[in-house]
């Protein structure tokens, strides 16, 4: 029987984008269902499939939900294991990859969001964001990808922020190209991959979304 795969998502979500890239890497066909998070109209399916957090992304595989983007990416890697491994098989390397994804999960989103979603804190948040990117750039070192020669779990977890960099830079008033040139080279390398290229939305579209949201929140 064919697998039934449904993804509950929201187009600019860096978390949902991780799942879309992982599914593209594995060549998995799925049905995409957009949630109307802007108007806070969550579908009954979302509330039923993720009653704990009520957040996207949710992957519904043969009727069963999997929640939390980094857990979903690991699940995808385990279920569709024959194609394009995303996590290393070596236990130590695997633990390292999970450590860095955990770091990204704990550190990146909050200062990133503060650059465009606050009034008066934008520049401070920008500085904090740059420091975190510098730590990640140091971890990347001279390698083409975080795990070495191939695109994997850590790359997927961070590259989905790439389409947000433009907005963070504009509102936070900084330049990542100037501050972290190696990291930007890495991002451009990742963006050449079909799974990433075809998945990430245009940075200007994301910027337009930020402008709309700022208006909606009464910030501008």
Shortest Å distance, C-beta 141 to ligand GS8: 26
Q: How far is residue 207's CA from residue 154's CA, in Å, rounded to a whole number?
A: 25
For ligand GS8, the closer CB: 136 or 184: 136
Cβ atoms within 10 Å, residue 207: 19
* Closest residue to bound ligand GS8 by CB: 55
Shortest Å distance, C-beta 123 to ligand GS8: 22
Distances in Å between the Cα of 110 and the Cα atoms of 31, 37, 50, 159, 160 are 30, 18, 22, 16, 15
H-helix segments, the chain: 14-26, 44-49, 69-79, 91-107, 109-117, 122-140, 153-159, 162-172, 176-179, 181-191, 194-197, 203-216
For ligand GS8, the closer CB: 56 or 190: 56
Contacts of ligand GS8 in 7-26 (CB under 6 A): 10, 13, 15
For ligand GS8, the closer CB: 13 or 74: 13
Nearest to 63 by CA among 50, 47, 49, 79: 49
Task: Give ∠ CA 92-144-148 in degrees, rounded to 5.
Answer: 20
Q: How far is residue 162's CA from residue 197's CA, in Å, rounded to a whole number?
A: 11
Decide: is 56 part of the binding site for ligand GS8 (CB under 6 A).
Answer: yes
Shortest Å distance, C-beta 205 to ligand GS8: 15
Shortest Å distance, C-beta 40 to ligand GS8: 7
Decide: is 171 part of the binding site for ligand GS8 (CB under 6 A).
Answer: no
Shortest Å distance, C-beta 202 to ligand GS8: 18
For ligand GS8, the closer CB: 172 or 179: 172
Contacts of ligand GS8 in 22-51 (CB under 6 A): 37
Among the listed residues 57, 112, 126, 152, the single contact to ligand GS8 using CB under 6 A = 57
Angle between helix 181-191 and helix 162-172 axes, rounded to 10 deg: 140
Shortest Å distance, C-beta 220 to ligand GS8: 20
Binding site for ligand GS8 (CB under 6 A): 10, 13, 15, 37, 54-57, 68-70
């Amino acid at each position: 029987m064919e697998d039934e795969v449904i993804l509950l998502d929201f187009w600019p979500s860096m978390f949902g984008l991780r799942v879309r890239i992982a599914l593209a890497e594995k060549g998995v066909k799925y049905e995409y269902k957009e949630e109307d998070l802007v108007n806070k109209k969550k579908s009954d399916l979302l509330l039923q499939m993720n009653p704990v957090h009520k957040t996207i992304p949710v992957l519904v595989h043969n009727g069963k939900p999997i929640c939390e983007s980094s857990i979903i990416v690991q699940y995808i890697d385990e279920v569709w294991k024959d194609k394009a491994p995303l996590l290393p098989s070596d236990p130590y390397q695997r633990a390292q990859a999970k450590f860095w994804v955990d770091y990204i999960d704990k550190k990146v989103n909050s200062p990133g969001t503060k650059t465009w979603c606050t009034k008066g804190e934008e520049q401070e948040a920008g500085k904090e964001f740059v420091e975190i990117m510098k730590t990640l750039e140091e971890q990347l070192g001279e390698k083409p990808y975080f795990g070495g020669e191939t695109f994997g779990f850590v790359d997927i977890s961070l590259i989905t922020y790439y389409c947000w960099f433009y907005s963070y830079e504009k509102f936070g008033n900084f330049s990542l190209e100037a501050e972290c040139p190696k990291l930007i080279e890495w991002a451009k390398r990742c963006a050449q991959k079909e799974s990433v290229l075809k998945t990430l939305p245009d940075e200007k579209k994301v910027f337009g979304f930020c402008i709309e949201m700022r208006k909606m929140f009464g910030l501008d």
